[in-house]
Structure 1
Amino acid sequence: MFSPSQADVRRFFCSVYAKARAGQALEAIETIASQWMDEHPEYHTDFADVDTALTTMYEAEEGRTNPFLHLSMHLSISEQCSIDQPRGIRQAVELLTHKRNSLHHAHHDAMECLGTMLW
């Protein structure tokens, strides 16, 4: 099972951000990550500085959303939909996308459910 550390995840997103901004070729998973990053310009400064990314703590009590967790959830939902696991998630997200008229908003709704299940 793939089990990256917190630092690995943060390095991945920072690397993708840098590669995309430099116009470098991206691998498939990096392309998906980059597309979701483009949907979240409010996090671009977090992705631009890997050293700060590795040391910053994002505390919910302080009202700070963890951009790395947020993007990881987007990737997770994207992957789940691509393989339809759990079965039916693809259709559920497609229906929600149609209802909300936005894949992005549908993902955020799905994240709320995922977060409830995890925490």
Structure 2
Amino acid sequence: MFDPSRDEVRRFFCEAWRKQREAAPLTPLEAIAADWILAHPEYHEDLASLDSALAAEYPVEGGRSNPFLHLAMHLSISEQLQIDQPPGIRAAHDALARRLDSPHEAAHRIMDCLGETIWRAQRERTAPDAEAYLDCIRRKAG
């Protein structure tokens, strides 16, 4: 999933959730996604119907976060941690998880840093700054 469309992302998460509920075999990536879905019961209803998921809108002014964006960021961070890319993210995550006594809450704090890093790169029309990303995570762990 290097550049999936909005609908492809939604199909992926809905399918992972369907397979999880039916105890069907999951791909390794689907298994990681299913773990994050299980950690977010508030999103289960959003993932229950593919047709509803494809039609749903999550405007900022609606006051509700987009469950697909949230889960996709969890998945991205999980992949970054698995391969320690950018180098040092695993150690920064582990320090933050220890400080917060929660790997899940650490992932949410890292999500803030990831969102800021992506926003800056888009605004400045540059590649994401890996060092600024890691510094942000380290500050949260400090």
TM-score interval (norm. to shorter): over 0.9
Q: Separation in 2 of the partners of 1:93 and 1:59?
A: 30
Residue in structure 1 matched with residue 41 of structure 2 by the alignment:
41
Residue in structure 1 matched with residue 28 of structure 2 by the alignment:
28
- Please report how far the alpha carbon of residue 53 of structure 1 lies from its aligned counterpart in structure 2 after TM superposition: 0.5
Q: Identity, % of aligned pairs? A: 53
- Please report how far the alpha carbon of residue 32 of structure 1 lies from its aligned counterpart in structure 2 after TM superposition: 0.5
Which has the greater radius of gyration?
Answer: 2
For the residue of structure 1 that corresponds to 2:117, the secondary structure is helix
Runs of 4+ that moved beyond 2 A: none
> TM-score, with normalisation over the residues of structure 1?
0.97
| Unaligned 5+ runs, structure 2 | 120-142
Structure 1 segment 62-77 matched on structure 2, within 5 A: 62-77=62-77
Across the aligned residues of Structure 1 and Structure 2, the Cα RMSD in angstroms comes to 1.0
Match of 2:96, as an amino acid? L
- Please report how far the alpha carbon of residue 90 of structure 1 lies from its aligned counterpart in structure 2 after TM superposition: 0.6
| Unaligned 5+ runs, structure 1 | none
Number of residue equivalences:
119
Match of 2:43, as an amino acid? Y
Q: Separation in 2 of the partners of 1:46 and 1:62?
A: 15
